[in-house]
Structure 1
Amino acid sequence: MKQLFVALLSVCAVITWSASAELKKSMYGENVQSLRGITQLEKTPSTDELIKYPREQILESNYVYQPPLIPHKIRGYEVSLNANKCLSCHSWKTSKIMGATKVSVTHYVNREDAVLADMSPRRYFCLQCHVPQANTKPVIKNVFETVDSLKP
């Protein structure tokens, strides 16, 4: 009885695996590829030479309070509990000297709307909201439309 049960389970497992493979073939085709193509992860070339970072923000904001994009490279920037490389240029003390945009006043306000002398801890990790922009070809087609463009 035990052998019959094990044999039946084995047959069910083989049938399930075969059906799953056939279903994947019919749904996705036989040549499924990721967006990076068939390149192996270990052989991915560096893209630093390909990306051109603009000096000013070239993309318009799409919604109210959208965080500005970063118009320069940030590779190697440390933003941790111990250091924030962004503030070396963008703090209120150094922005004028460095010719950089000042951190917004909103970053110095805490949850209770009290103005702080230093940056609010909830706004300290810049890369949670701000991302680099670059003049690159989109990986996939973007069909995003702003709310204003949807009006008749």
Structure 2
Amino acid sequence: MTKPILAGALALATSLALVGLGLAQPATGLSSLRGASVDEQVPVEQVFQQETKRFNREYRQQPPLIPHSVDQYQIDIRANQCLSCHDWTNAGDRGAPTLSMTHYLDRDGVEMDEVAGTRWFCNQCHVPQVNAPALVENLFEPSASR
């Protein structure tokens, strides 16, 4: 073998060996944002339950929070279980709030008889309300003119 090829092969082998040793080192000294070791089990102290009383909105145009569980609701490309109560054709019979008329406008502002595809996935804007502590510090102050 020529000397340059031998030197290159030796350098490659040394590099691979060092990388392998680096990957094989245990993850000691690392900690996560939760303040525990990466591989340490952290017990959950309390499970927060769904809050059934309505929460106030904190800013203009805030989507309403959902005051009931939606754990078993089907919301996918084929079905939207929310509409069984909240669509304008059913809301009166079910005693549920009707969707805003903005949910029936297509992207060009044309009014339709059914929910627009851009508003089909309710949980991209609406979330279940729960009385749980904030995960991170929040200095948000509600608008004075709610």
Check 1:10–1:71 CA distance in 2 against 1; reply closer, same or farther (3 A cut). Answer: farther
Q: How does 1:109-124 map to 2 (within 5 A)?
A: 109-124=105-120
Any idea what the Cα deviations from partners look like across 1:45-89, whole Å, max 9, x if unmatched?
8x9x82222224325333x32222212211121112221110111
Paired position in structure 2 for 1:55: 52
Asked whether the equivalents of residues 66 and 127 of structure 2 are also in contact (C-alpha less than 8 Å), the reply is yes
The alignment partner of 1:97 has SS state of: helix
Asked whether the equivalents of residues 50 and 69 of structure 2 are also in contact (C-alpha less than 8 Å), the reply is yes
Paired position in structure 1 for 2:84: 88
CA distance in 1, matches of 2:86, 2:35: 35
Q: Does 1:4 find its partner at 2:7? A: yes
State the structure with more CA Rg.
2
Q: CA deviation at 1:104?
A: 0.6
Check 1:116–1:130 CA distance in 2 against 1; reply closer, same or farther (3 A cut). Answer: same
**Unpaired stretches in structure 1, ≥5 consecutive residues:** none
More helix by share: 1
Q: Does 1:125 find its partner at 2:121? A: yes
TM-score (norm 2): 0.70
Once superposed, what is the RMSD of the aligned Cα atoms? Answer: 3.4
Q: How does 1:135-150 map to 2 (within 5 A)?
A: 135-145=131-141
What letter corresponds to residue 139 of structure 1 in structure 2? L
**Unpaired stretches in structure 2, ≥5 consecutive residues:** none
Superposed structure 1 runs of 4+ greater than 6 Å apart:
none
Among 102, 121, 128, the alignment partner of 1:106 is 102
Among 53, 71, 95, the alignment partner of 2:67 is 71
CA distance in 1, matches of 2:21, 2:100: 56
